[in-house]
Homo-oligomer: A and B are copies of this chain.
Amino acid sequence: MFCEKPIDHDVSRIKEVLAALEGTGLKYQVGFNRRFDHNFEAVQRAVASGKVGTSQIIKITSRDPEPPGIDYVKVSGGMFLDMTIHDFDMVRFLAGCNATEVYAQAANLVDPAIGEAGDVDTAVITLQMENGAIAVIDNSRKAVYGYDQRAEVFGSKGMVSASNDSASSAVISNEDGVTAEKPLHFFLERYMDAYGKEIAAFVDAIVNDKETPLNAEDGLQPALMGLAAQKSLQEHRPVQISEIQ
């Protein structure tokens, strides 16, 4: 079973999925495509192989080129569960552990219609990770220069960071400056290869009877983080993941 993210917006229903899968041996993969991106894979590999030592600060920048339509915003579950959920997954992927606490500062700065629909479009979210690292995600629904997808892990032995991809390395130097291409426009351009590798990994898990790279627990945790972020925003305080049921 391949399930796009999020499994559900309701934790109890996600837990039903986990319970139903328990002991069946069924292959279940949740669709966090960014783990298969060449840049984030390289960052994770550097961290996992000890190249930055003990992780201390993890930073994710994730900004869309344009907000979705208001009709979609209304049924999206909110920015944290619709968009940031990918970054919550990325934080877990890079840290190699779960978050214990979330603090969300957010605002409606891009389009008033999003605020009227009850959602935010700009956020800075701080997370305490189980391994002691502090993570921070910054989000915007509208980066006019394109899809901005960066990550950085800082630790006791150094830092690894990944920047954006663009359509070419061509750079024009003229009287106005030295201009490179914008980042690739959106997820279809940036993650096309990653989608292919994601499905290949799923097929490989079935054909060769391996664990899927992202199981139902990997679907649950980001949802908990998203719900904690929502609660943090509403109550204007840091929220423990354990508060979310």
Contacts and interface: CB of A to CB of B under 8 A. Distances in A.
B161 A171 contact: yes
A245 B122 CA distance: 31
B52 A172 contact: yes
B136 A159 contact: no
A158 B145 contact: yes
Contacts of A236: 238
B182 A179 contact: no
A170 B46 contact: yes
Contact of A172 (B39, B142, B160): B160
Interface in A30-60: 38-39, 41-43, 46, 51-52, 54, 56-57, 59
Contact of A51 (B43, B56, B174): B174
Contacts of A135: 124
Given A126-B126, A145-B178, A134 B107 contact: yes
Interface residues of A, number: 68
A164 B169 contact: yes
A12 interface: no
A68 interface: no
Contacts of A42: 167-170, 181
A237 B235 CA distance: 11
A174 B145 contact: yes
Contacts of A166: 178
Interface in A64-82: none
A154 interface: yes
Given A107-B132, A180-B178, A237-B237, A162 B158 contact: no
B124 A140 contact: no
A231 to B, nearest CB: 14
Interface of A: 38-39, 41-43, 46, 51-52, 54, 56-57, 59, 63, 103, 105-107, 109-110, 122-124, 126, 128, 132-136, 138, 140, 142-145, 148, 154, 156-183, 236-238
- The 8 A-B residue pairs whose C-beta atoms are closest, nearest first, are A158-B174, A42-B170, A42-B168, A145-B173, A177-B179, A179-B179, A178-B180, A159-B173
7 contacts: A63-B154, A124-B135, A134-B138, A142-B156, A177-B182, A178-B179, A178-B180
